[in-house]
């Protein structure tokens, strides 16, 4: 028998494969162990017993719950009625101890259970009244929140730098994991706060290492937040900043993005999560999506009116997993001062529009189309020709304060708080009211002018020009002259060849 005949015979012996290439093959398990979720699902279906056909009524479900205590407590009494009452008491007690939140959410249910335990106290026997001692769980506060996690690092006295540039990536990742139990804010603005591409690349690279450490800590929820901030469109468009990243950092970011990608219903994340043990924080959005999809895909009751047990069991298994994760403890300690710093620094109230404005400010949309020109400082106030300033002293004072601040920043780099009379005359000659003869007063001695004196002079001169209705004599315009030029208003000689700031002399 040749290979073709053998292959044809094997196809004839396997009738399940006759569907052709287009038909999906049946899922088969081959030399693999079942996952913990599959084992739990099978055990739960086995525990349902006669109800595992997929549906039951409320009475059948209640009877099954009551009978689940029969084997353990059947020797409590010989009276069948007393045995059933004891089973009911055990069922209610188990419900209150394991799921107290369901009772506290329904005030009417809480009142009914309170009356139930009062009846047990009056008419029940000693075994039933002992179970009623757990009725204190009906207090509004319930059993109360778990005790605060003690941090071993808080008892040790050591110096911790609160500067972002001095923090180690591992320490920052552990503190972000600790903060995940409360809240976490985006990191996009932290990257955009750096002015230069190289500086922004340093922040990006640091947070990539933080994301790698979060992956080691199995903190997928914070990992998604950090990776989402690094992959935000306002950050992804910063080509100059990403050009400064090392190849290893770029590769690591791509791997983390692939891990958390939504392709195939988060298949990569689900495979990684299935293999995690110990402390772990899930990607809550994915698990909540599963709960919503399961709740919407199947009805609560079957067409005949019975409860949909398969749906309830599936919801229970997923909620039980999330509830177990809430009872775990963080694997790392935390410094309270550093926690407060991160809480304040991450609490940034920026809208999406503000973030994009900051992103376009750092790297314009079309930087190559702009002409190359040397950097120049912008004037604080631009004097528009033909516009007479209004006598609004508050608004005028704000402009003058900004102007004086800019003047002393350039003319007083040593920070003495004064400028020379020569600088003052050069400064005052550039303003419109100086052309009308409002010259600065003559000074005696050193001839220096303080900040308050310059402010008072500018306010007084502006007020006089406003009351007199004096207009501009010059039309100021930024022009680079290749040859000497004269002012058309006063015939003054303009000084400055190929300069960004021009000065006019008479």
Tens digits of per-residue pLDDT, 156-207?
445 555 555 667 777 766 666 665 544 444 567 777 777 888 888 888 888 8
Alpha helices (H) along 347-488: 352-362, 393-411, 421-428, 451-468
Segment 459-479 mean pLDDT: 60
Residues 407 and 462 in one domain: yes
Query: Residue range 241-256: average pLDDT?
Result: 90
**Is residue 113 domain-resident?**
yes
Residue 53 resides in a domain:
yes
Question: For 148, phi and psi rounded to 5 degrees?
Answer: -60, 145
Question: For residue 226, is it within any domain?
Answer: yes
Whether residues 494 and 433 fall in one domain: no
In sequence order, the 6+-apart residues with CB closer than 8 A to the CB of 313 are: 41, 44, 45, 48
130, part of any domain: yes
CATH number of the structural domain spanning residue 259 = 1.10.840.10
Shared domain for 264 and 349, answered yes or no, is: yes
Q: Are 192 and 234 in contact (CB under 8 A)?
A: yes
pLDDT at residue 414 above 60? yes
Is 343 found in the same domain as 231?
A: yes
What does the pLDDT look like over 11-38, one tens digit per residue?
Answer: 444 444 444 444 444 445 444 555 555 5
pLDDT at 66 over 60: yes
Query: Quick one: 96 and 176 in the same domain?
Result: no
Which of the residue ranges 26-30, 43-47, 441-445 would you say has the lowest mean pLDDT? 26-30
Number of domains in the chain: 4
The C-alpha torsion from 89 through 91 and 92 to 97, rounded to 10°, is 120
The pLDDT confidence band at residue 234, using thresholds 50, 70 and 90, is confident
Give the range among 188-192, 330-334, 499-503 with minimum mean pLDDT: 499-503
40 with 105, same domain? yes
- Least Cα distance to 464 among 385, 389, 402 occurs for 389
Predicted pLDDT at 320: 83
Domain annotation covers residue 101: yes
Structure tokens at 420: 């020379």
Burial (CB < 10 A; 0-12, 13-18, 19+), residue 341, is: middle
Return the CA Rg of the chain.
38
Domain span at 429 = 387-473
Cβ-proximal residues to 311 (8 Å cutoff; 6+ apart), any chain: 294, 295, 298, 299, 300
Q: Are residues 457 and 488 located together in one domain of the fold? A: no
Does 30 fall in a domain? no
More confident residue, 474 or 229: 229
Q: pLDDT digit string (tens) for 287-302?
A: 888 888 888 888 888 8
Mean pLDDT of 262-276: 90
d(CA 193, CA 346) in angstroms, rounded, equals 13
Same domain, 223 and 254: yes
Q: List C-alpha distances in Å: 375 to 88, 371, 398, 500.
A: 83, 12, 26, 9
Q: Is residue 295 part of a domain?
A: no
Assign 259 a pLDDT band (cuts: 50, 70, 90): very high
* CATH number of the CATH domain containing 459: 1.10.238.10
- Whether residue 348 sits in one domain with residue 209: yes
pTM score, two decimals? 0.46
Output phi, psi for 488, to 5 deg.
Answer: -80, -15
Same domain flag for 209 and 346:
yes
pLDDT at 255: 92
Range of lowest pLDDT (205-219, 360-374, 382-396): 382-396
Is the pLDDT higher at 165 or at 414?
A: 414
Per-chain mean pLDDT for the chain: 69
Domain contains 502:
yes
One domain, residues 234 and 338: yes
Same domain, 199 and 221: yes
Q: Which of 121, 138, 155 delimits the end of a domain?
A: 138
**Of 320, 322, 321, 294, residue with least CA distance to 308:** 294
């Amino acid at each position: 028998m040749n290979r073709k005949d053998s292959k044809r015979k094997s196809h004839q012996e396997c009738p399940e494969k006759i569907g052709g290439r287009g038909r999906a093959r049946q899922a088969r398990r081959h030399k693999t162990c079942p996952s913990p979720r599959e084992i739990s699902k099978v055990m739960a279906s086995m525990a349902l017993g006669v109800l595992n056909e997929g549906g039951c009524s409320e009475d059948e479900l209640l009877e099954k719950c009551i009978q689940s205590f029969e084997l353990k407590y059947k020797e409590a009494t010989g009276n069948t009625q007393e045995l059933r009452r004891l089973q009911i008491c055990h069922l209610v007690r188990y419900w209150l101890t394991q799921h107290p939140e369901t009772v506290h959410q329904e005030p009417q249910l809480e009142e009914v259970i309170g009356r139930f335990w009062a009846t047990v106290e009056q008419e029940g026997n000693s075994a039933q009244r002992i179970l009623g001692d757990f009725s204190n769980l009906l207090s509004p506060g319930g059993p109360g929140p778990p005790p605060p996690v003690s941090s071993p690092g808080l008892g040790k006295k050591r110096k911790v730098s609160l500067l972002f540039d001095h923090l180690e990536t591992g320490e920052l990742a552990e503190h972000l994991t600790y903060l995940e139990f409360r809240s976490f804010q985006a990191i996009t603005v932290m990257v955009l706060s750096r002015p230069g591409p190289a500086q922004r690349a340093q922040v990006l690279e640091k947070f990539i290492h933080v994301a790698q450490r979060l992956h080691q800590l199995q903190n997928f929820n914070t990992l998604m937040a950090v990776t989402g901030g690094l992959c935000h469109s306002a950050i992804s468009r910063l080509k100059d900043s990403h050009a400064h990243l090392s190849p290893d950092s770029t590769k690591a970011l791509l791997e983390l993005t692939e891990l958390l990608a939504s392709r195939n219903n988060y298949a990569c994340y689900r495979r990684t999560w299935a293999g995690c043990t110990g402390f772990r924080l899930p990607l809550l959005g994915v698990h909540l999506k599963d709960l919503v999809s399961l709740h919407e895909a199947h009805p609560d009751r079957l067409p005949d009116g019975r409860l949909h047990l398969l749906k309830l069991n599936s919801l229970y298994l997923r909620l039980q997993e999330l509830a177990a994760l809430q009872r775990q403890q963080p694997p790392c300690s935390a410094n309270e001062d550093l926690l407060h710093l991160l809480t304040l620094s991450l609490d940034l109230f920026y809208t999406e529009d503000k973030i994009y404005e900051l992103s376009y400010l750092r790297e314009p949309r079309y930087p190559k189309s702009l002409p190359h020109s040397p950097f120049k400082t912008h004037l604080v106030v631009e004097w528009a020709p033909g516009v007479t300033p209004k006598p609004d002293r508050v608004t005028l004072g704000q402009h003058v304060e900004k102007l004086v601040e800019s003047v002393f920043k350039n003319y007083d780099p040593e920070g003495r708080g004064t400028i020379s009379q020569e600088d003052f005359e050069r400064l005052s000659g550039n303003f419109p009211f100086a052309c009308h003869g409002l010259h600065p007063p003559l000074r005696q001695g050193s001839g220096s002018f303080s900040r308050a004196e310059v402010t008072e002079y500018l306010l007084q001169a502006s007020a006089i020009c406003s009351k007199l209705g004096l207009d501009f004599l010059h039309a100021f315009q930024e022009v680079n002259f290749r040859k000497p030029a004269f002012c058309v208003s006063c015939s003054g000689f303009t000084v400055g060849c190929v300069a960004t700031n021009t000065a006019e002399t008479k």
